Structure 1
């Protein structure tokens, strides 16, 4: 409850004091009774119903005003209001991007089907991982007579970081398998999937843009500009990385290792001479992936649950972080394990700024 200029407000909306519906209704009824003492104001009475109707509309005005106060400044604005604010710095909210890979493999087994015929699997054929993430091929695949497998590029059906998968996570077709094809899997990881940018991240970029050094080519400018590219979730500029006058920009995509195509996209954007000329020998690089195996006791959860939890934990560590066995234990217990003991890694692992942790083999003992 707050009092401002003698007016009492018994509710708070995002830090803005307002009158509640009940307070408004009761104040209206109190004023009416002051005028007509014999007025019936009990619930279901005509006066109570009328006061409630008026109070509802006035309460909506209070809420609208409180929301407007919060949307007035970029510090507290959300949604479309925040998007309008950041346009002042030439920023746009980044939409979600779809994960993609290059090697979706179809295979036929000579022990189960004929191999002396030509089989074509059309683009758009859908496949799925064991955890239900759906992908589709982006090109036709043709298996000539006596050819047992073929690979095609593929992408997630839905945009988002959930589409970033490791090698071998695709396990079956989504629906009936194409005639003559027995197996499907992915021989490479799907990468570059990212969620729609959150308000908090967009707000952080806005304030970075207002504080960054003015001249094009500075480390702060490079980092802010690189993060404008859809899918890029972090950027670190390393000045004089390869000697005087050079700069490396280390980027992640979907909080993971970006594809070569994404690196080329960022480099082209940063070095576009029609925008801001830069006077450095520029290179855009990806983190070095470091596979870290996990061996643990975790009764009460399945292998798939353990792999999902471990992958999420490593993603939260990110590049240049430190991996703590005790936090892996906590993550496994939070996932439903009765207890957990981590045997590998046996001690904390400190990554260099250019290293990104990747899940290795997960073994439950």
Structure 2
């Protein structure tokens, strides 16, 4: 027996759909507090020492956290080639905006203290703010547009044609709502991180802004669900589904209809756990902020991120990228994956190396555990940034 046939093609496709979700959630949880912290920088830090406290709260770990973004992009490229092709061509300008903003982060960290000038440092502080806010906003906008459907089609040779126009068409009302939800969610997470890692005025301001963001997250999540139910057509497959056949998105028929994105919850009641975790995590984080419980607040915000992202994935299953102009071209778990052998080899590599990444990350956080010392920053005896 050929080794890769030990796991059938259908199972491998579902496994890689789950792993893609894990990687995206891992990025949102691990790098999300970095983005949220940067977005909070102008609001929670009023003096240069306070700003350095905020920067040093994430400075030693942000590079390792960004590994999850690289892993997610690599998984999309290798496991779902058509998804990679459509998203990275259709969302090219959005991706460019994200990458430009992310580049500002390491540059800001490295150059901020190169000159003893208040104006120089203020400029780089705003660059760090942009580096946190823009990716959080644009990623949420992208998810909103995926739920609405993306304007692409496939011809009979499976060539991809993206027929969108400009970046601004992505900034539709529903997309912007999802973008604001993403910002609120990550600001809540960043606030929880800063409460854990700082003391004094920075921690108190972070607690206040984190509490507000937690409440806003719950409200926007509810509004997004209501809007999705009433104002956004979902997609369903109306033909026979070939779960083990060769990848060919055109070998199916698809229709759009209101409320379809909620059908999975009716068929599988356990899926309701995802939105419940989204709400419970946000409201729990709010309660823990008020109770001054640092670690539980961070864990609760992580649970909220898990629930909100899982809600999107479970609502859309088996779709991973629907087409708004030619529903038949929509990409699904069953017809947009790499070959059986490719998915199996990737799974073996993942099983070996992802636990190593997790173990190393855990070790780093254990070593770096503790609060940033403002006194050590003031007298120059500690901290790198």
TM-score by length of 1: 0.24
| Greater Rg by CA | 1
Would you tell me which structure has more strand in proportion to its own residues?
Answer: 1
Higher RCO (CA < 8 A, seq sep 6+): 2
